Chains A and B, each alone.
Chain A
């Protein structure tokens, strides 16, 4: 087993453990700490797949901005941030549904190549050329969606609306 495979197994294990822990711990602040670890772990997987630009983006947008935004949401919606969440339990039906989904998806990936495939790195300059050239309209659309989303969020939380 090569070093890369061991690294992938370790990173995949950490991703699963942190993802499940984020949903199961009772204190919301602990949830956000676990989810920050989850995002950093995903960034490590991107670096392993030789996509360094995406890895840095993941660290900046998810591990940075989204985590702080979620922490901010917890901060303003409760009096004490270390208050415990009411136990909602596991729920047999959702658990079974999740397991069935996993088995179904794994069963359908059987037709993909079973062996090892080489990881090819992408030149960041080619990526930026495509992003601002060929896929420029999509980036523009993303900007428009973000603008409308921010206006919508301001409308939702503005003063004097009860």
Chain B
């Protein structure tokens, strides 16, 4: 049984959320935007895994189950996002989100 400081893990999650937020706000490429969202989402999944590991018992099982479901949702989000990328690229010849200023593709 290993012992680890929980505050360090939470600081890592906070830093990953900050990096993801920075990417979402600055990047204009749709694929980079998807990657930034994935980084921020990883921080949320990591939090579930930390608290599962430090708590143990049924709470740990619940935390890891939620983590698995969130990983599934994140993968689904990437699939839909790439569908939007392909549709956008076909209509506008570019995947710059600044050019996608109409709801109708």
| B-binding residues in A (CB < 8 A) | 2, 4-5, 8-9, 12, 15-16, 19-20, 22-23, 28, 31-32, 35, 38-39, 42, 45-46, 48-51, 53-54, 57-58, 61-62, 65-66, 69-70, 72-74, 76-77, 85-86, 88-91, 93-95, 97-99, 101-102, 105-106, 109, 112-122, 126-127, 130-131, 134-135, 138-139, 142, 145-146, 149-150, 152-154, 156-157, 162
Beyond the given pairs A23-B23, A102-B15, 14 more chain A to chain B contacts, judged by CB atoms under 8 angstroms and listed by A's residue number, are A16-B19, A23-B22, A23-B39, A39-B42, A42-B46, A49-B4, A66-B78, A72-B82, A76-B89, A86-B28, A101-B21, A114-B5, A127-B65, A152-B83
What are the residues of chain B within 8 A of A31 when measuring CB–CB? 31-32, 35
Interface size on B, residues (CB 8 A): 75
Show 7 A/B contacts (Cβ-Cβ < 8 Å), sorted by A: A39-B42, A76-B89, A91-B25, A117-B3, A138-B65, A149-B80, A154-B83
Bound together, the chains give a CA A61 to CA B74 distance in angstroms of 10
**Residue positions of B touching A, CB distance < 8 A:** 1-23, 25-29, 31-32, 34-36, 38-39, 42, 46, 49-50, 52-58, 60-62, 64-65, 67-69, 71-80, 82-87, 89-91, 95, 105
Q: Is B83 touching A109 in the complex (CB atoms < 8 A)?
A: no
Q: In the bound complex, do residue A5 and residue B4 qualify as a contact, i.e. CB atoms below 8 Å apart?
A: yes
Q: Is the CB of A156 within 8 A of B86?
A: yes
In whole angstroms, how far apart are the Cα atoms of A93 and B1 in the complex?
44
